[in-house]
């Protein structure tokens, strides 16, 4: 089953039939052809398999996780693929990343969503752990979903990442997080994450070493 689903996910990706001066990859999600411009200058400007896994999940589970008119933020949006798919599925999306990635992110988001979405997505700078209350005040930022694909990798900002999840997450916020397991230090982040959030595995792809999680804040009021 894993291999069949992974094959279906990877079939959503296509490449240009001819070489152009700009490197791009194509994807089929939410009934649209999505063209993503990439850059090899930054890790965040490349589409990684975790993003495809999350996009496929959003599309194939759109009834259970109905994004129409939902307020969604993607952290570490990179090329913007997940944000674009969420927008095409009807969400009001804020795509965030580091300042040096915003130009390419804005280009991809605008190119693939203009006049195609119910809500035009926004692109905004978010450096994990920095000026969170100033840029995303708790009193006014109410997100139904936080989305993240491959944000845990070999970098020194895991504390800041956890702080960012914690700041953006309200009691009823759902986190959808696709993670590729690599090194032990990064893998230990899952245990630290579970100290603050209830974590549930909703899809697992051993052939890709990727797990898709759903998480919500611990201690929330339950109806």
DSSP collapsed to 3 states, 2-19:
HHHHHHHHHCCEECCCCC
The first and second tokens of residue 47, run together, are 């589409």
d(CA 190, CA 199): 9
Domains and CATH numbers, the chain: 1-217 (3.40.50.150)
pLDDT of the residue at 223: 42
Tell me which residues of the chain have a pLDDT lower than 50: 223
- Helical H segments across 41-195, by residue range: 49-60, 81-88, 102-113, 132-135, 158-168, 184-194
Q: Which residues pair with 148 in a beta bridge?
A: 177
Helix H or strand E encompassing 202? strand 197-205
pLDDT, tens digit (0-9, with 9 covering 90-100), for 30-41: 999 999 998 766
DSSP state of 120: -
pLDDT of the residue at 6: 95
pLDDT of the residue at 182: 79
pLDDT, tens digit (0-9, with 9 covering 90-100), for 79-110: 999 999 999 999 999 999 999 999 999 999 99
pLDDT of the residue at 44: 59
């Amino acid at each position: 089953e894993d291999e069949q689903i992974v094959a279906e996910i990877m079939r959503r990706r296509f490449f240009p039939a001819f070489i152009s001066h700009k490197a791009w990859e194509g994807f089929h999600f939410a009934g649209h052809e999505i063209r993503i411009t990439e850059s090899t200058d930054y890790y965040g400007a490349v589409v990684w398999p975790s993003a495809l896994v999350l996009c496929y999940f959003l599309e194939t589970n759109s009834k259970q996780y109905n994004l129409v008119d939902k307020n969604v933020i993607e952290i570490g949006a990179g090329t913007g693929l997940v944000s674009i798919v969420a927008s095409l599925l009807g969400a009001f999306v804020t795509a965030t990343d580091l300042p040096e990635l915003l130009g390419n992110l804005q280009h991809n988001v605008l190119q693939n969503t203009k006049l195609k979405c119910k809500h035009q997505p926004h692109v905004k700078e978010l450096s994990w752990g920095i000026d969170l209350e100033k840029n995303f005040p708790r009193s006014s930022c109410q997100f139904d979903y936080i989305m993240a694909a491959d944000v845990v990798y070999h970098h020194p900002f895991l504390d800041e990442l956890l702080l960012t999840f914690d700041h953006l997450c309200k009691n009823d916020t759902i986190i959808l997080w696709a993670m590729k397991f690599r090194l032990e230090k990064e893998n230990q982040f899952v245990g630290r994450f579970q100290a603050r959030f209830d974590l549930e595995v909703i899809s697992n792809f051993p052939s890709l070493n990727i797990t898709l999680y759903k998480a919500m804040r611990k201690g929330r009021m339950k109806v």
